Structure formats: C-alpha cells, structure tokens
Amino acid sequence: MGIYKSKNVKITSVFIICFFNLTLLFAQDIEPRRWTPLPIGTHVIGGGYVHTFGDIIFDPVLQAEDVTLHLDAVALSYVQPLKIGNKLGRLDVLLPYVNAKWDGLLRGTPTSIRRTGFSDPRVRFSMNIIGPKALNAQEMMTYYAENPSSTMLGASIAVTFPLGQYAGDRLLNLGQNRFVIRPQIGFVHNWGLWSYEFTASVFLYTNNKDFFNNQVRKQDPTFAAQTHLIRRFKNRMWASVSAGYGLGGQSIVNSQPNNDERGDFLTSLAFGIPVTKKQSVKLFYLHSESVKSVGSDTDSIGLGYSVLF
C-alpha cells in the first residue's frame, strides 16, 4: 500500500508539473509592439482579459489522458517611460488574476482541479540601446517624420515575484513560489507604415523549496524567441502577424529529472483599434502547439484596453 501511494504521488506530481507550466509559461508569451517607444511625460494604465482552452499531451507512462484546460485571466498593467541619461527607458508592472480548471483521466480516474486567485506579479525594466533618445511627444513625432526608416535595439530584465496564491500542501497553485528572471533583447525595423520585430528571451528559475510533500523543485532554463510583422494605418489602427517558439524548461524534483522538456510553437494575430486620442483597444488570437511528445495544444482569445495620460 505504501509503495502504491508513493508511486501515485509521483505520477500526480509530474502530471501537475507538466500541464501547469506548459500552459502558463508559453500560452500568453506573444507581445507585438513590445519595443514601441513612449514619449517622456506620459503614463499608460491598462487592463486585459484572456480565455485559454485546449488539450494537454502527456507521456503515456504517466497514465494521464484526455486532459483539457479552461483558463480565464484578467490583468492590470502600468507602464512608465523613463529618462536615463539621454536614453529612453521603460518600467512595466503586471498584476494577473486567474481562474483555471483542468479536467482529465489520471490512472483511469476522472480528475478535476480548479484554482482561483492572484498569480505572480511581474516587474520589467527596459532600455533602448539604439534608437530615439528620451523625447517628449512633440519631439517623437518630429523624429518619426524625419526618420521614416529606422532601427531600434533594446534590452530588458523582467522579474516575476513569488507573491501569487500558493500552498505547499497543494500540487497545483497559481503562484510558483519562486522567482523567475527573464533577460530579453530585441530589435525593431520600421519602414513607412510597416515594422518588423524580433525578440529573444531566456527564463531563469530559482528553486521552489516548498514544493508538494516537502520536496525541492528545480527547473532548467527556457529559451524563447518571437517575431512580428506589423502594419500601421493612418487612422492609428494597427495589425500584426506573429510567431514564437519556446524550448527547454525540464523540471527536476528532489534531484530526479522528469524528462518533460517543452517545445512549443506559437502563432498569433492581433489588432489595435483607437477609441479616442488617448484610449485604445487590442484584440488578439493565439494558438500554441507542442512539437514534442509531451506538451499543449491550446487556443487563446483576448481583449485589452489602455489609457494614455
């Protein structure tokens, strides 16, 4: 009986590790216009909603079958441009709230898990290395008028803080109980009303020393890249076609590798629509598909609203 219980806990642990991280790590990681400069003296407050649904794929050894995900998330964001010397910087703060439900068969037994609450907040600092200097709104309009073709290069560091809902006696939590540090570099090339963006990232994870059943959970780095082709219109609308890929992130519990490295390919369409001179709405669709024997095939639809002041 003790051997059976231990084996069942291990299988359940891997079950939760796989589909929780697959869905939340890659599902929303497409961000067109990531490096768009903002004029000094402005601020942006935003809110958004996303619904994600789809299938989670497991190694048959885990005896987890027909697993589906339904996730609803809302988030508040704040963006503040900064002047650093004569360079243009930017500070982003993101606070997400999530309602997630997973259903499936675990060892032939129907299993359903739901969690609702705050996920881990993220703070990100960015700076343009090449491109427009720290300019106010009028100066930035003049810069783009004089430079219809231009290239910008930026770098950033994002930190996700372990402040979300977490309990060590639960296998599934909305918070990760660890820091996630994400260095990122990207460039944008503008020509006329078109833009091309490319961004490369690496996710670095600290250890979760309070994982289920007093275990220690580690995770290998995850490498990701995303690319976007953007068309702007004279009425300030814009549209983008995007693709991304993430690879790595094998989890290790009590020094035991789980052989659950991820490989996810993402595609996305997004539209930005001005409501007033300082308000806008963003609509998007995202598809995530695993290229590994384990992974996730999910679809996401979302809506964002932002106010510039």
**Long-range pairs for 301-304: beta carbons < 8 A, 24 or more residues apart:** 301/50, 301/51, 302/28, 302/48, 302/49, 302/50, 302/51, 303/48, 303/49, 303/50, 304/46, 304/47, 304/48, 304/49
- State the pLDDT at residue 175: 92
For residue 274, give every residue at least 6 positions away whose Cβ sits within 8 Å of its Cβ, in sequence order, or none: 235, 236, 237, 280
Specify the number of domains making up the chain: 1
Tell me the CATH number at 163: 2.40.160.40
- State the pLDDT at residue 178: 96
The residues that bridge with 265 in the sheet, in sequence order, are 245, 289
Distance, in Å, from the CA atom of 246 to the CA atom of 265, rounded to the nearest integer, reads 7
Residues of the domain holding 39: 2-308
Nearest 5°: the CA angle 107, 110, 113 is 110
- State the pLDDT at residue 170: 81
| pLDDT averaged per 10 residues, the chain (length 309) | 38 40 48 92 95 78 71 96 94 96 81 91 96 91 91 97 92 88 96 96 95 89 96 94 93 84 91 94 94 82 95
pTM here?
A: 0.86
Separation in Å, CA 223 to CA 35, 95, 125: 19, 23, 19
Distance, in Å, from the CA atom of 53 to the CA atom of 300, rounded to the nearest integer, reads 7
* Structure tokens belonging to residue 302: 């979302």
Residue 84 backbone phi and psi in degrees, to 5: -120, 100
